Amino acid sequence: MKRKLSQRLIFTWLVAGTALAQDPTLSVLVAERHGKIFSPPTASTIALPGDVLTLEIRGRCWSNGRSVLDPFTAPSLRGFTLQMDLASYSSGATGSITPVDFAKTNSEALCGPCGGPPLVTCPGNAANAYIDSTRVDYVFQGRAGFAGVQTTTCAYRFAGALFCTPSDCPTVMGFCPLDDQKYLGTIRVQVSANARGLFSICLDGGRDGRGFPLTHLLAESPGARIEPLRLECAAIDVVPAACDLSIVSAVPANGAIDARQPHDPFDATPQGLQAMEVAFSGDVKCVTPAHFEVSKVGVGAAPAVIEATPLDRHTIRIEFDFLLPPKAWARVTFNPWSGVAKRTSTCVGFLPGDVSGDGAGGSADVGSLRACLDSPGTCDLYQSDTDRSGFTTPQDIVRLVDVLMGANMFDPWNEVVLPPSPCP
């Protein structure tokens, strides 16, 4: 192993000084997204539901399994067969990224089940998967050959071959490292409306029923496969559609501290906020749970927003996947996906006993609760309804003292403090 490495290093130094050991590589790259052209194409991008992306298959470093491309002995490339990995179309969290018009052109009714032989009624999808052999960077550009795409199977298959004899086949078809990629094919895909998460769109590295690799390169002598191959996928992170709103207010209000009991006196089952209302600067119909991010200052994990239900034109009720934990701030951020600068947040804290909302529980809060009782309507329930009965009554004063002193099953919350609110 050591000797092999030193041979590589010497050879690398002799050939180019910068060449890196690399297997022949086929990549799926994003060349265009929603009208934005990437030059050069990129290995990763974000996309919105409904986006149409142009993907290109490119190759580099034909070296017949040699660790470094040798321009004197590298085989010429005689042909290629590439097959898209059908499973990668649904590799995100939900939804799919499929060839444009996939449902119309490759429906089971027209084409038969995926994996089976295509029916004669299958129209295929030549408009959205093709090889442009006139491109100057096409791997066989300017040479007599064949280029075609079979789209009547669900996993589209690209193929190219040169009409040449070993003596006049091109001898060197690419250099390492990355600066001489050759184009092999194009596929246009569409992100489904319900797609979310990170998709990895790939060529199929598997083998057919006879053990033949579904994606392979052929060297000059027919049937001589160039192996091993490296397959690189396009990473497409599907985020929610842009929703250009900002948070205007919330219930509980930004900076509010829930002062109620964290559980019943004789039952440790946690109690707390699992929902809040958020008002926005505009119509909330574009808001989804995926637009919210929750971070937390204090103990325990941060919850996630799992429901977003419009209450009226401007207000959403959001629900968390678990109760906001005590002795912590939860920062709820709305991400409109139209620029980091446009994010807005609201924070809510949970400190049992802190009726005054100053971030510390103590005997002064008993006085605050008395003031709430003396002047009905001046305090919110999250401050004054210590026992979570739905009303503020003298019983809440008794419960507040229990919470602060640590009576029954309560931890003592007297003199517990919260850090400052993470929201401005």
Nearest 5 degrees, angle CA 136-CA 140-CA 141?
30
How near is the Cβ of 395 to Ca ion at its closest, in Å?
6
Residue 402 sits in the site that holds Ca ion (CB under 5 A): no
The candidate with the shortest Cα–Cα distance to 403, out of 238, 211, 265, 230, is 265
The binder of Ca ion chosen from 23, 51, 204, 354 (CB under 5 A): 354
Residue nearer to Ca ion on the CB measure, 230 or 388: 388
The binder of Ca ion chosen from 85, 204, 396, 402 (CB under 5 A): 396
Gap between the Cα atoms of 42 and 37, Å rounded: 10
How near is the Cβ of 361 to Ca ion at its closest, in Å?
6
> Could you tell me which stretch among 142-150, 247-255, 308-316, 365-373 binds Ca ion (CB under 5 A)?
365-373
Gap between the Cα atoms of 384 and 357, Å rounded: 11
203 to 222: interface string for Ca ion, x by CB under 5 A: --------------------
Residue nearer to Ca ion on the CB measure, 47 or 259: 259
Residue nearer to Ca ion on the CB measure, 260 or 331: 260
The binder of Ca ion chosen from 358, 412, 414, 422 (CB under 5 A): 358
Residue nearer to Ca ion on the CB measure, 233 or 418: 418
How near is the Cβ of 298 to Ca ion at its closest, in Å?
16
How near is the Cβ of 353 to Ca ion at its closest, in Å?
7
Positive or negative torsion for Cα 189, 194, 199, 203: negative
Instruction: Tell me whether strands 344-350 and 256-258 are parallel, antiparallel or unpaired.
Output: parallel
Residue 258 sits in the site that holds Ca ion (CB under 5 A): no
Residue nearer to Ca ion on the CB measure, 85 or 396: 396
Residue nearer to Ca ion on the CB measure, 58 or 260: 260
The candidate with the shortest Cα–Cα distance to 51, out of 93, 97, 95, is 97
Residue 363 sits in the site that holds Ca ion (CB under 5 A): no
Q: Residue 345 to residues 266, 330, 351: CA-CA distances in angstroms?
A: 36, 10, 20
The number of residues making up the chain comes to: 424
Residue nearer to Ca ion on the CB measure, 143 or 388: 388
Which residue sits closest to Ca ion, CB atoms considered? 389
Q: What SS3 state is found at 111? A: helix
Gap between the Cα atoms of 30 and 52, Å rounded: 11
376 to 395: interface string for Ca ion, x by CB under 5 A: ---------x-x-x------
Residue nearer to Ca ion on the CB measure, 331 or 399: 399
DSSP, res 219:
E
Q: With contacts defined by CB under 5 A, how many residues of the chain interact with Ca ion?
A: 9
How would DSSP label each residue in 115-176? TSPPPTT----TTTEE--TTSTTBTTTTS-EEEEEE-SSSS-EEEEEE---TTTS-S----S
The candidate with the shortest Cα–Cα distance to 8, out of 16, 219, 230, is 16
Residues that bind Ca ion (CB under 5 A): 354, 356, 358, 360, 365, 385, 387, 389, 396
